[in-house]
Chain A
């Protein structure tokens, strides 16, 4: 019984996000167009029809399209996570979030609900994207569609938490172009989403190093392995650790006392 206001808040927030989601059908489509462009156009231009070398979890040679699919799934989560977090900043100042934050429930719970709601809706987009992947012969095993779910959820929460942390701390990033240039692009390109890291290492040792400390790399690898029903423990630990750290930091950032405290200083 005691939990019920929490549950009510959660379902309420989820419902609201869902409504917003179906009202903005173009947002859903545009979220699909971006990774599809990469999958169909970029991969075609890359012309790796002769196959990408074998790296785990793949057991044999794969097409480039097959290689980038997990990275593009994470790309959807990355954009949605950042966009969702930013919209929360605006919401907090002028929109419904303002009302929401007046609720007697702890802010941390409300923010957490919001994070999960964004993540769940992102998952729908990712699965739609994977389904379209089958049209271009990218066919992960069907069991992988199930095992990838927790990996995608964790990644979505991690990226949402990072977005939330950034939007609470760094005011200059409030416009989306700034986030694109300074967060999304570096995170995406300095990762294993588009190219295996051994390839990066061949051209530059320090770029390889940056890529391998990028938590997005580990999220992509977690999703990549999970999509083939395998567990990459290292990637899981790093992704889970990063999620925990940024969730705590984000919640602290939205804590009114903390905020007042830092403003006072």
Chain B
């Protein structure tokens, strides 16, 4: 007797819920607008703009992809947004001016670089407590935790070093000197290599994680663009291990690198001052945030072509995608 209406409502709920759940979405932080832009990855259009804290920069997803962590730099906090409701549910004590951060594979410890204080703050996302503050070089910026969870690597822009932090003891174990102004680090999936960009040096260093030494340095040259403008920032490695993409800042190009031979294959023209990137969940597209032109360029990874640039807010900075 009760079954039919119950089943019906269940079906209806499933019908209503499925398009929302299946349409892949991108979230982009707009540094100057204090907002996030939500992009529908089917139509490649902005569907929503959400107000968040001041100067949102780095953004990352929780491992279960239900929460978004936002570095609200000028609010001196890391905000936690519930992705189902788009409401801020917590403000984490991040230390001053959080810019980039990385989540430990345990889904609890968040490693945050505090640009103004030369510190890395470790926050427990469950208890909301600061677990440690580690002194690093001047102007810490990039942050990455190794896939096995052993290392947290921070880059300091002025000291031009990569700082290796042991995640057990929260102590700084080693430093690797790289070219000027390291901005971003990214571990390979296997965790045995680390890619780090140097903005002023104009290079990307590939580091052997076991020895913490540079094994290869990449240089970039684009015909018709002055070398000073080639400033590598964001680095993204494709899941299949074939390619690395390097965002070249004011050169308005993304370099495509063969991840095994380290050869630069191509340069793709995107918007102005490109900084960070993210793949769509199916790895079909790579999204780039172009700060000065205020848009997100979409690269078709199979064709290696830029297919569209989507207008978002002012100075887009970080980007994440989810199913």
Contacts and interface: CB of A to CB of B under 8 A. Distances in A.
Interface of A: 44, 47, 49-51, 53-54, 59-63
Contacts of A61: 252, 269-271, 293, 297, 306, 309
Nearest to B223: A49
Contacts of B224: 44, 47, 49
Given A50-B225, A50-B252, A60 B308 contact: yes
A49 B225 CA distance: 6
Contact of A60 (B222, B225, B272, B297): B297
B181 to A, nearest CB: 21
Contacts of B271: 51, 60-61
18 contacts: A44-B224, A49-B225, A50-B225, A51-B252, A51-B271, A51-B272, A59-B307, A59-B308, A59-B309, A60-B270, A60-B297, A60-B298, A60-B306, A61-B252, A61-B270, A61-B293, A61-B297, A61-B309
User: DSSP class of A's interface residues: helix, strand, loop or mixed?
Assistant: loop
A60 B271 CA distance: 8
Most buried by A among B224, B251, B252, B308: B224
Interface of B: 222-225, 229, 251-252, 269-272, 293, 295, 297-298, 306-309
Contacts of A54: 295, 309
A240 B297 CA distance: 36
Given A61-B269, A61-B271, A49 B222 contact: yes
Most buried by A among B229, B271, B298: B271
Given A60-B297, A61-B252, A50 B309 contact: no
B228 to A, nearest CB: 13
Nearest to A53: B293
Nearest to A43: B224
A59 to B, nearest CB: 4
A61 to B, nearest CB: 5
Contacts of B293: 53, 61
B250 to A, nearest CB: 8
Contacts of A63: 269
Contacts of B225: 49-50
A233 B92 CA distance: 54
A54 B298 CA distance: 14
Contact of B307 (A44, A51, A60): A60
Contacts of B229: 50
A59 B295 CA distance: 12
Most buried by A among B251, B297, B298, B309: B309
Q: Name the 9 nearest CB pairs between A and B, nearest first.
A: A49-B224, A60-B309, A59-B308, A60-B306, A50-B252, A49-B225, A51-B269, A61-B269, A47-B224
Contacts of A59: 307-309
Contacts of A62: 269
A49 B269 CA distance: 8
Given A49-B225, A59-B309, 20 more contacts: A44-B224, A49-B222, A49-B223, A49-B224, A50-B225, A50-B251, A50-B252, A51-B269, A51-B270, A51-B272, A53-B293, A60-B270, A60-B306, A60-B308, A60-B309, A61-B252, A61-B270, A61-B293, A61-B297, A63-B269
A53 B224 CA distance: 17
Contacts of B297: 60-61
Contacts of B309: 54, 59-61
A105 B298 CA distance: 58
A26 B298 CA distance: 44
A159 to B, nearest CB: 32
Contacts of B223: 49
B287 to A, nearest CB: 12
Nearest to A48: B224
